[in-house]
Amino acid sequence: MSNQIISISINDKLLEEVDRLQSELGFSGRSELIRAGLKFLILDKKEKEKLSGKISGVLIVVHKEETEREVTSYKHEFNSVIKTHVHTNLESKCMDLFTVEGQAQDIIRLTESMQKIKKIDYVKLIVS
Residue 105: its pLDDT value, please?
Answer: 95
Question: 109 near 123, Cβ under 8 Å?
Answer: no
What distances in angstroms separate CA 90 from CA 68, 71, 74, one per listed residue? 13, 16, 21
Q: Quick check: 126 and 57 in contact, CB under 8 A? A: yes
pLDDT of residue 2: 85
Cα 83 to Cα 105: distance, rounded to the nearest angstrom: 16
How far, CA to CA in Å, does 56 sit from each of 67, 96, 100, 128?
A: 25, 17, 5, 6
Average pLDDT of the chain to the nearest whole number? 92
3 pLDDT more than 90: no
pLDDT at position 63? 93
Residue 44's pLDDT band (cuts 50, 70, 90): confident
Q: Residue 1 pLDDT more than 80?
A: no
Measured distance between the N- and C-terminal CA atoms of the chain, rounded to whole angstroms: 37
Per residue in 64-114, pLDDT (tens digit) is: 988 989 999 999 999 999 999 999 998 889 999 999 999 999 999 999 999
